């Protein structure tokens, strides 16, 4: 959907109790949000369980501050945490995914033909700055460092100058926030897991508040699977989480087992949820001698892997799950 400023002029900032918003228990600590959601406000997921690291993001949201850089392994929930926090504050989110060909004008806007004449269409960064939205730049470490450095003035709180629109100066709205996510901390990938990532300019990185996000704690994922797949026995759900964490360790090369090098696929929480849901739905296959856990595993993760990795995934599953499950 193309970005427009339709409806954004009606945004009304309000003070909200942070505890009441995020936990249901008033805390007396206030946080800025909006009275009503807008077209650009993410949809709140009632089943979402906030990662313990989100407390850092909440503190960041409470006051105008340096931009935020959240990094961590793929599938750990970096972007979804920011979206879900924004959803509960009715914050509009303007989201862009970084890549090697992304250029600064893609963020600011461009001239286009509208009703027979040339008109300027604001880009996601300009709209967030004008109207007090949250600009979310995903995969920041895939950006060319020269393009990223072009953001330095914005990160310092300076106005955005748009020469293509008559030299318009966009002063940052007090509610404007700039957040970025990436798999690395911008200092290059030492693991070899994330092809295409680039080492970013140190002066650029120095402008960010950094936050590292790992995979959720097992207890948090247990509560989530209990809600998503209540028909599965609790011991089975716990073993599925243990299995997911073993795969995650293999992916990051931290398993400490004899399996050798890291594998190319991993479990996000979203993938774990899908696995539990499909395992629950495929239970009738057990009457045909088909193991629902292994059957659902292929349709969740195994078919995305190489043949060698898929074989390894099933070897681990045979070890961790009784054959009757």
CA distance 89 to 83: 10
As a whole-number percent, the residues of the chain with pLDDT over 90 amount to 62
CA distance 263 to 309: 7
Q: Out of 59-73, 199-213, 228-242, 248-262, which region has the weakest mean confidence (pLDDT)? A: 248-262
Does residue 303 surpass a pLDDT of 80? yes
Axis-axis angle for helices 269-281, 234-251 (nearest 10): 140
Q: Out of 141-155, 183-197, 255-269, 276-290, which region has the weakest mean confidence (pLDDT)? A: 183-197
Pairing of strands 160-162, 168-170: antiparallel
pLDDT bin (cut points 50, 70, 90) of residue 1 is very low
Does residue 2 surpass a pLDDT of 50? no
Element (H, E) at 244: helix 234-251
* pLDDT tens string 85-130: 999 999 999 999 988 888 888 999 988 877 777 889 999 999 999 9
* pLDDT tens string 23-55: 889 999 999 999 999 999 999 988 788 888 888
Does residue 76 surpass a pLDDT of 80? yes
- With the C-alpha atoms ordered 189, 195, 200, 206, is the resulting torsion angle positive or negative? negative
* pLDDT tens string 247-299: 999 988 876 554 555 788 999 888 999 999 999 999 999 999 999 999 999 99
CB 160 within 8 A of CB 125: yes
219: helix, strand or coil: helix
168: helix, strand or coil: strand
- pLDDT at position 240, please? 97
Element (H, E) at 160: strand 160-162
13: helix, strand or coil: strand
């Amino acid at each position: 959907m193309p970005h427009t400023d339709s409806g954004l002029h009606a945004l009304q900032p309000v003070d909200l109790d942070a505890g009441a918003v995020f936990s249901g228990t008033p805390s007396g600590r206030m946080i800025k949000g909006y009275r009503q959601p807008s077209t650009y406000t993410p949809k709140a997921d009632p089943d979402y369980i906030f990662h313990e690291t989100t407390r850092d993001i909440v503190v960041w949201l409470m006051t105008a501050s340096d931009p935020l850089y959240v990094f961590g392994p793929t599938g750990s929930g970096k972007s979804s945490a920011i979206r879900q926090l924004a959803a509960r504050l009715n914050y509009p989110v303007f989201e862009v995914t970084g890549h090697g060909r992304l250029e600064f004008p893609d963020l600011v806007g461009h001239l286009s033909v509208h009703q027979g004449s040339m008109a300027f269409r604001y880009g996601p960064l300009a709209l967030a700055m004008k109207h007090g939205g949250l600009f979310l730049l995903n995969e920041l470490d895939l950006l060319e460092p020269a393009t990223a450095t072009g953001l330095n003035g914005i990160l310092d709180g300076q106005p955005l100058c748009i020469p293509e629109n008559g030299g318009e100066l966009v002063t940052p709205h007090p509610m404007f926030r700039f957040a970025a996510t990436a798999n690395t901390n911008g200092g290059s990938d030492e693991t070899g897991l994330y092809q295409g990532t680039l080492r970013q300019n140190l002066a650029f990185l120095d402008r960010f508040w950094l936050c590292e996000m790992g995979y959720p704690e097992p207890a948090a994922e247990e509560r989530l699977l209990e809600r998503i797949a209540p028909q599965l026995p609790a011991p089975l759900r716990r073993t599925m989480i243990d299995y997911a964490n073993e795969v995650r360790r293999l992916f990051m090369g931290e398993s400490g087992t004899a399996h050798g090098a890291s594998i190319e696929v991993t479990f996000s929480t979203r993938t774990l949820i899908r696995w539990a849901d499909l395992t629950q739905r495929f239970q009738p296959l057990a009457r045909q001698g088909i193991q629902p856990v292994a059957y659902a595993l292929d349709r969740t993760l195994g078919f995305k892997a190489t043949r060698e990795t898929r074989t390894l995934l099933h070897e681990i599953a045979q070890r961790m799950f009784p054959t009757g499950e």
